[in-house]
Amino acid sequence: AAGSGLGATAAAAAAASTGRLPDAGMGATAGSTARAFGAGAAAVGGEPVRFGDRVCLATNPSLRADPATGVVAPPYFLASDRPNNVIGSGAGVTQDVFLAPRAGTLTEWRFTPADGNDAAWDGSPVPAGAEVCLVHCQTNQALAASETAPIATAFGRELPLYARTHKSSGIVTRDRPRPAQAPNRWAILLSEDAAAAEDRRDFRPLTADAIVDKVRLALRERGTYGIRALGKAFRILDDRRDGRLDREDLKWGLFDFGLRLSDEEFEMLLDAVDTSGDGLVSYDEFLLAVRGPMNERRRAVVEEAFRKLD
């Protein structure tokens, strides 16, 4: 980071090298250190990130590889919110910065030039290595790091993060914009070697079978209670009382149950359990897909659990 250092949260966010790395000086691209969103929050994969774009900074998914299945977990997103009495930023009365499990309004940021001349740079690609500011879209506060309170971690000396726009004194005019102060100055650093983006670790490919195994393990950890709790949740969501849920209801039912899957993983799972292809998933369809081979004793336990529910 230029002029401020890279804190623990930002270090994780900047590790999102999940796509191709552009040549140095060509600018950051969506899918490397940021994911760009255009009008209507539609993903623009592979397009250069430009000043003024709404972006989300995500951790590398492999940082959260599931040890049970070997499948990468959904990434965390760099987020910020107004101060409260629960989450502290470690930098006094400032806006909190943290990692969120899902993308949303709290995870949207935009790049602005460090020289303060927004009009001249608006719409231009964000150049790699140049000093920039990262401004939170919802609260209009800039990402900052505290150089007065370093933290010793397993990764070395790191600086706590917070969101607050530090402003200099003096007269500001159109011809004389206010430049960013040191705590708000950052730089996008990219490797000049494309091989640095290659992950040589042996992770399991993300397939429908892998997602089904993940759900199966979650149910197995909870035992009979897990099956009963999931069945109860399904019945609450079943407005038609016909034993079937549409894909969206099933998706949020599983989320409330505690299954943290990305949108892509949910779609893969729903495609696997919607065996009839009619957009509706019955309890039987879902259980047949996720329960796997069962011996007679286990089958009797499951059937007894559902008889008690009925």
State how far the Cα of 29 lies from the Cα of 20, in Å rounded to an integer: 8
Cα separation, 162 vs 147, in Å, equals 11
Alpha helices in the chain (DSSP H): 8-13, 118-121, 208-237, 247-257, 263-273, 283-291, 296-309
Q: With 70 as the cut, is the pLDDT of residue 291 above it?
A: no
- Asked if 133 and 225 sit in the same domain, the reply is no
**Average pLDDT of span 109-132:** 82
Res 15: pLDDT: 33
Separation in Å, CA 81 to CA 33, 89, 103, 111, 180: 21, 10, 13, 18, 21
Domain count, the chain: 2
Specify if 1 maps to a domain: no
User: Are residues 103 and 223 located together in one domain of the fold?
Assistant: no
Sign of the CA dihedral running 303, 308, 309, 310: positive
Within a domain: residue 3? Answer: no
Give residue 177's pLDDT.
56
- Interatomic CA distance for residues 229 and 119, integer angstroms: 55
From 142, 165, 197, give the residue that closes a domain: 197
Look at residue 43 in the predicted model and tell me its pLDDT: 39
**pLDDT value of residue 108:** 95
Between 284 and 14, the higher pLDDT residue: 284
Measured CA to CA, the distance from residue 184 to residue 132 in angstroms comes to 8
Q: Which residue has the tokens 């899918």?
A: 31
Q: Is residue 127 part of a domain?
A: yes
According to DSSP, the residues that pair with 187 across neighbouring strands are: 131
Tokens 């998706």, residue? 251
- Residues in Cβ contact with 40 at an 8 Å cutoff, skipping those fewer than 6 apart: none
Which residues span the domain enclosing 224? Answer: 208-309
Asked whether residue 60 is domain-assigned, the answer is yes
* Interatomic CA distance for residues 159 and 182, integer angstroms: 13
Banded model confidence at residue 97, pLDDT cuts 50, 70, 90: very high
* pLDDT tens readout for residues 194-214: 787 777 777 777 788 888 887
Residue at a domain's end among 197, 217, 234:
197
Bridge partner list, 43: 37
Is there a single domain that holds both residue 137 and residue 217?
A: no
Span 132-189, pLDDT tens digits: 999 999 988 999 988 888 888 888 888 888 898 887 665 555 555 566 678 888 988 8
The mean of the pLDDT values for the chain is 71
Looking at the fold, whether 56 and 120 belong to one and the same domain comes out as: yes
What secondary structure letter does DSSP report for 245? E
Same domain as 263, residue 135: no
pLDDT surpasses 90 at 107: yes
By C-alpha distance, which of 109, 103, 118 is closest to 161? 109
Q: Are residues 188 and 266 in the same domain?
A: no
Residue holding tokens 């003024």? Answer: 52
Residue 163 inside a domain? The answer is yes
13 compared with 263, residue with greater pLDDT = 263
122 neighbors 52 (Cβ within 8 angstroms): yes
Distance CA 278, CA 255 (A): 22
Q: What is the mean pLDDT of residues 231-252?
A: 75
User: What pLDDT is recorded for position 84?
Assistant: 62
| Residue among 108, 119, 110, 133 nearest 51 (CA) | 110
180 shares a domain with 227: no
Q: For position 106, what pLDDT does the model report? A: 93
Q: Is residue 239 part of a domain?
A: yes
Do residues 21 and 73 share a domain?
Answer: yes
**pTM, 2 dp:** 0.59
**CATH code of 99's domain:** 2.80.10
Quote the percentage of the chain above a pLDDT of 90.
8
DSSP classification of residue 77: E
95: DSSP letter: B
Cα gap 22→43, rounded to integer Å: 19
Pairing status of strand 77-81 against strand 96-100: antiparallel
The dihedrals phi and psi of 292, each to the nearest 5 degrees, come to: 75, -175
State how far the Cα of 76 lies from the Cα of 241, in Å rounded to an integer.
Answer: 37
Mean pLDDT calculated for residue range 50-75: 80
234 and 301 housed in the same domain: yes
pLDDT reading at 1 higher than 90? no
Answer yes or no: do 23 and 171 share one domain. yes
